[in-house]
Amino acid sequence: MNENQQPVWHGTTILCVRKGNRVVVAGDGQVSMGATIVKANARKVRRLKSGTGGDVIGGFAGATADAFALFERLEGKLEKHPGQLMRACVEMAKDWRTDRYLRRLEAMMAVADKTTSLILSGTGDVLEPEDGLIGIGSGGPFALSAARALIDIPEMDAEAIARKSLGIAAGICVYTNTNVTLEAIEL
């Protein structure tokens, strides 16, 4: 790294699992700057204020301040479009892509309500996975692969799958740990 470069923040594994009568969003707690673990118990998953539209949960990967700005923006869109997570996310993605300030934000989000699970990115993407599983962040592909392998095991519910999958990701991705925060919605 030369003297003009800022340290690179790495990390995060966020996983969304929809199975049976629950949807969960889970995330690890590690924040890393380069090769240094800065914090081991960060909370990257939370419930969003959604007006009268019901429960919405979300997790973020990327720069923390950027993610909180995006959570606030999404909460505003949910206030305007209560109960319409897809519409609120599409409206936010339009802003994210066209607003000069928002375009500079470096984060991704996984959000879910009783009926929909979505990935939001700074490129304007709003993606709904066909299998109800989302993995984002540096350990996201590992957790997603594990969740896909576990999803058909009848005795494992959404929470058990998320916890096991994050544990597997933590064993592979150096930017992921086993301090899991999990939020759930009953369907």
pLDDT tens-digit profile of 127-166? Answer: 999 999 999 999 999 999 999 999 999 999 999 999 999 9
Residue 92 to residue 76: CA distance in whole angstroms:
9
Give me the pLDDT at residue 122, please.
73
Give me the pLDDT at residue 144, please.
98
Give me the catalytic one of 12, 13, 176, 181.
12
Portion of the chain with pLDDT greater than 90, in percent: 68
Residue keyed to tokens 């699992």:
17
Over residues 73-95, the pLDDT tens digits come to 899 999 999 999 999 999 998 88
What are residue 108's DSSP bridge partners? 61
Q: Read off the pTM.
A: 0.92
Give me the pLDDT at residue 134, please.
98
Over residues 100-129, the pLDDT tens digits come to 766 667 788 999 999 999 999 877 789 999
Give me the pLDDT at residue 32, please.
87
Strands (E), the chain: 9-10, 13-19, 22-27, 31-33, 36-39, 45-48, 56-62, 107-112, 117-120, 126-127, 133-137, 181-186
* Position 1 confidence tier, pLDDT thresholds 50, 70, 90: very low
Instruction: Report the candidate in 185, 186, 182 with the shortest Cα–Cα distance to residue 27.
Output: 182
Let me know if 12 is a catalytic residue.
yes
CATH of domain 9-182: 3.60.20.10
Give me the pLDDT at residue 5, please.
52
Give me the pLDDT at residue 146, please.
98
